[in-house]
A = this chain, B = another copy of it.
């Protein structure tokens, strides 16, 4: 058995209490799917909270007991790995709004006993993090050694540090930004248009029949273009043609076949309404809106921050996270900003990368810098 082949199963936290969203609306109850790896220590302060990206789920590490699937961050999290589950108690929760076990638009609406569909309230990144904080308290965790996430997970990590600076001792933030540019909004919006334009969308109440599979597939294809770099696409596909297309406009170039496959596969595992809600949460996220500036938003965070970007990531260009690092420095924060050279575009943060792994490991160990006793919220 390899180091990261432990069987894990997804757990479910059900809170019967109403969960209040930032916009004033209330979810009548809350369910979060989550997984944990490693053991919480006696002081209950060795937890690392992992936040997932747009299409991620709670299964970040190990082998899933039911599906047999590897975790989506298996290269980073596990026994003896950079995020060492022999030392840390790692938690990863599916976000609210999601479709892999947490309360979302495909969950039953208690007032109708049918899936919420578009009657589900609009969500924000802050709501996702607030819900995770409820789970954290439920698990008896006193404070977090670190929050850790890339892409949308990175937004959540920033939001954790902004909203809960008293429990977040450190943060590791990868390949993300503090708010979307219009171009980033635009890519998401075209995907949303493809979904809501699909005749099978039926205003979001499609759970009795076929969903808007074609629209969701197109949305995913657009996403995939933005996850890869020009360089990685060129080395992966070039202009190779798989076969003379059976009909004129079947995928023929290898890159077309790849995208088509990615689109179809996504439809089997993701809910179109969740795609709408989560991309909208991405687009409306604006860290600076809490407190009026990035400096103010992160002003109460007293820990260390590791910000990692990737040279060929054009979806979240390094300049965006560098801007947050600069703001954090201005507010006297202890921040390490690194742009990692990588050919793999935005996807880099999910891929095996020795530089990434040693930076994260070194940041979490931090033996040289010493610092305050573990468990205090001022540990640096």
Q: Give A contacts to B, CB under 8 Å.
A: 118, 122, 179-183, 185-187, 189-190, 192-194, 196-199, 214-215, 217-218, 221-222, 224-225, 228, 230, 233-234, 236-239, 247-249, 251, 253-256, 259-260, 263, 276, 280, 283, 286
Tell me if B286 and A183 are in contact (CB < 8 A). no
Number of copies: 2
Tell me if A255 and B182 are in contact (CB < 8 A). yes
Tell me if B118 and A251 are in contact (CB < 8 A). no
Tell me if A194 and B182 are in contact (CB < 8 A). no
Tell me if A193 and B181 are in contact (CB < 8 A). no
Tell me if B225 and A190 are in contact (CB < 8 A). yes
With A194-B194, A197-B217, A218-B218 known as contacts, the answer to whether A225 contacts B118 (CB < 8 A) is no
- Inter-chain CA distance A179–B239, complex, in Å, is 9
Known interface pairs A183-B233, A185-B255, A190-B225; 5 further A-B residue pairs with C-beta atoms within 8 A, sorted by A's residue number: A182-B237, A182-B254, A189-B253, A189-B256, A197-B217
- Inter-chain CA distance A198–B316, complex, in Å, is 31
Interfacial chain B residues near A118, Cβ < 8 Å: 247-249
Name, among A185, A190, A239, the residue most crowded by chain B CB atoms within 10 Å (CB to CB).
A190
- Inter-chain CA distance A260–B192, complex, in Å, is 11
Quote the shortest CB–CB distance from A75 to chain B (angstroms): 25
- Inter-chain CA distance A222–B218, complex, in Å, is 11
With A197-B218, A256-B185 known as contacts, the answer to whether A239 contacts B190 (CB < 8 A) is no
Quote the shortest CB–CB distance from A269 to chain B (angstroms): 19
Tell me if A249 and B218 are in contact (CB < 8 A). no
With A193-B260, A197-B214 known as contacts, the answer to whether A183 contacts B249 (CB < 8 A) is no
* Closest residue on chain B to residue A254 by CB atoms: B182
- Inter-chain CA distance A234–B183, complex, in Å, is 8
**The residue from B183, B190, B286 contacting A218, defined by CB atoms under 8 A apart:** B190
Tell me if B185 and A234 are in contact (CB < 8 A). no
Tell me if B249 and A182 are in contact (CB < 8 A). no
- Inter-chain CA distance A218–B183, complex, in Å, is 15
